[in-house]
Amino acid sequence: MPRYLFPTPKGSEITPREVYLNRRHFIAGATAAGALLALDGSVKAAASATEPLKFSEGKVKALSDKPTARELATTYNNYYEFGTAKNEPARNASTLKVRPWTVEIGGEVAKPRTIGIEDLLAMELEERIYRMRCVEAWSMVIPWVGMSFSKLANLVEPTSKAKYVKFTSAARPEEMPGVRTRILDWPYTEGLRMDEAMHPLTFLTLGMYGETLPNQNGAPVRIVTPWKYGFKNAKSIVRIDFVSEQPRTAWMTAGANEYGFYANVNPEVDHPRWSQKHERLLPAFFASRETEKFNGYGAEVASLYSGMDLAVNF
């Protein structure tokens, strides 16, 4: 995998303005976005429209870390459909049309269906603050809005043959400039084992910071599994299949020796090209801390992997 896919942050990326968390979301400093963006010093975030969401507070593990500034979380992104540099998704993603939008759900289910984004937004939503860890050893803390994935799964009634869940993202070359390249085998696909997908922490996500998702963060619907590296969290999902065999995922196809199916955050298993023992909680680009196994959610999820060799099943 060429090293240019993971560029080193430049100085212009590392001086965010401090912002603070209101009960629901950040009140942003007016000049923060300009300082956070722009490898070239002139980039503005994509003008993807967002809307306020109605939701309740989720009952999840409390975190000691402060949530990340919204400006940073929406301008420093991995979303290769819109470019490989961290600032490119915010610059390019306004071209994605997120209305109308439907998600097809099928495979080993009793009641396959197609569901519209309006129907998903009308369901009972909650906010959960999750720590998110990227394979390049940086992390953020994000207030996500959505629902447990199991709530959606129960609508289609998976059968006993369903052992895995496969997520397929949108691949629209006319709207996504990265899809016109050969960086990955498009469309982007990801997967979870059935018990992982149905775990209470696995979150079908429709918003962040109290509003619908910005395009560069995976609008209009994505998955969040907070104990795994970020690439497991498929964005802009258009299809969900319950399948009997482990699906071949986009990053496994690109480099199976670097990106395993499980992708659990694990300081004991290094990426072939860098260590996973430490991480940088952004905006602290240079101050690192020890990585927590399962990203700090081990009490909740470690039992899913009892008896497994996580160095082999990485």
pLDDT at 266 over 80: yes
Which pLDDT band, with edges at 50, 70 and 90, does 140 fall under? very high
Q: Average pLDDT in the 151-180 region?
A: 98
Q: Average pLDDT in the 144-151 region?
A: 98
pLDDT at 248 over 70: yes
Average pLDDT, the chain: 88
Maximal CA-CA distance, the chain: 54
pLDDT at 153 over 90: yes
Domains of the chain are 3-305 (3.90.420.10)
Contact of 221 with 103, CB cutoff 8 Å:
yes
3-state secondary structure of 89: helix
pLDDT at 278 over 50: yes
Q: Average pLDDT in the 270-282 region?
A: 94
Q: How many Å from the N-terminal Cα to the C-terminal Cα in the chain?
A: 18
Which pLDDT band, with edges at 50, 70 and 90, does 246 fall under? very high
Listed in sequence order, the residues at least 6 apart from 211 whose beta carbon sits closer than 8 Å to its beta carbon are 25, 50, 51, 52, 53, 145
Report pLDDT for 59.
Answer: 85
The pLDDT > 90 percentage for the chain reads 82
Each residue's pLDDT tens digit, 10-23: 333 332 323 323 33
Each residue's pLDDT tens digit, 85-105: 999 999 999 999 999 999 999
**DSSP assignment string, 93-113:** GGG---SS-EEEEEESBSS-E
